[in-house]
Structure 1
Amino acid sequence: MARPIVIEVQDYDPVWPSYAARAIDEVRAALAGLVVAIEHIGSTAVPGLAAKPVIDLMAAAPSVPAVESASAALAAIGFDRSEPTMPNRLFYRREGAPVAYHLHIVDAASWETRNQRLLRDHLRENAVDRAAYGDLKRALAASADEGDAYTKAKTALIQRMVDSARTARGLPLVNVWEE
């Protein structure tokens, strides 16, 4: 019988941005000239939001294949390539304590309208949605027995918040599960 996955959601830790900044510097050095922007995204990038202890980073690359060919440079700093759950991106993981890291590499042409960046900014600006999202994450972490169920159960709220952020910026609405 498979052992259930424990999903740990913690109170916001003000040290998370410093972990992200250090990792951004490492990735920027490893991928010198291959990326034009790198940002801290995800829940650990939102002050006051409960989160899993995972620092999500997103980088914009003019040539995603060029970054793919530089995977050894990322491996040298502990980032191992994984299969992405969404298309048109590269995905790398770095395990560790007290936090793990996820690195998403996307095409620079889509940078300004990336849902992950829009959601982060929306949550930073909207205390009501930030609280609702934190409450949902805690409830799901207490009841979910595997990571995919936890992630999918957040979809309706995330979609509503992303739709609000996209509407406020005059952008077309898109499914948060990129296809």
Structure 2
Amino acid sequence: MDSDDEITAATIGDLKPYAVKVIVEDYNPEWPTWYSQGEAALRAALGTLALRIEHTGSTSVPGLAAKPIIDILLVIPDTADEATYIPALEAIGYTLRIREPDWYQHRCLIRRTELGAPWSVNLHVFSPEPGAPEIERILAFRDWLRTHDGDRTYYERIKRELAQQDWNFVQHYANAKSDVVEEILSRALRG
């Protein structure tokens, strides 16, 4: 999502400007525990509908500074069939926030501390098809950063620099990292 119009079109509910600075914290050794507890809750809520659950994003990379939001990748048979999984996710505190039918049928649900959750989560939901290419990219990026100190340090430096700027929407911060992500990802995919 590059333009404000695309961000608005994909957002469920009110789109409010990001009113606080992006906070990038030093690595927190509690993040894997938060993920494990989140994974267990997802498995209990979804059962066999959850084909795959992975800890992704910067909080999944030991030693990497990150926004204190756990990113989880959830793969289910058909993201477009929201009635089969959204109610179960809402029952455990998630809210559908982004619907992108033209981008691998991606859905993003959130849980936020400011709404009573013990920690914040971005839950990215894909189906194996058409989402397989993006699933592969997400996991390749994570796995590369876990094993390549130079790129992990480089990525952290860029994130910290960008966090010093003011962003109208947090998606703008994510977009600003895109060139660096693609550069690192190209090495990971060639790897």
The answer for unaligned runs of 5 or more in structure 1 is 169-179
The answer for unaligned runs of 5 or more in structure 2 is 1-16
Pairs within 5 Å for 1:28-39: 28-39=43-54
Aligned to 1:117: 139
Pairs within 5 Å for 1:24-173: 24-66=39-81, 68-84=83-99, 87=103, 88-96=105-113, 99-109=119-129, 110=132, 114-146=136-168, 147-168=170-191
Provide the rounded CA distance (Å) in 1 between the counterparts of 2:67 and 2:99: 19
Instruction: Work out the percentage of aligned pairs sharing the same amino acid.
Output: 32
Q: Is the Cα–Cα contact under 8 Å of residues 34 and 63 in structure 1 kept in the other structure?
A: no
Please list the CA deviations of residues 54-100 of structure 1 after superposition, one character each: whole Å capped at 9, or x if unmatched: 00000111222445432111111101111146722121100116631
TM-score (norm 2): 0.80
How much has 1:116 moved relative to structure 2? 1.3
Q: Comparing 102-111 with 63-72, which one deviates more in the overlay? A: 63-72
Provide the rounded CA distance (Å) in 1 between the counterparts of 2:163 and 2:30: 22
Provide the rounded CA distance (Å) in 2 between the counterparts of 1:34 and 1:148: 29
Query: How many pairs does the alignment contain?
Result: 167
Q: Is the Cα–Cα contact under 8 Å of residues 110 and 120 in structure 2 kept in the other structure?
A: yes
Q: Is the Cα–Cα contact under 8 Å of residues 141 and 184 in structure 2 kept in the other structure?
A: yes
Taking structure 1 as reference, are residues 141 and 64 closer, same or farther at Cα in structure 2, changes over 3 Å only? same
Superposed CA RMSD: 2.1
Partner AA of 2:151 in structure 1:
D
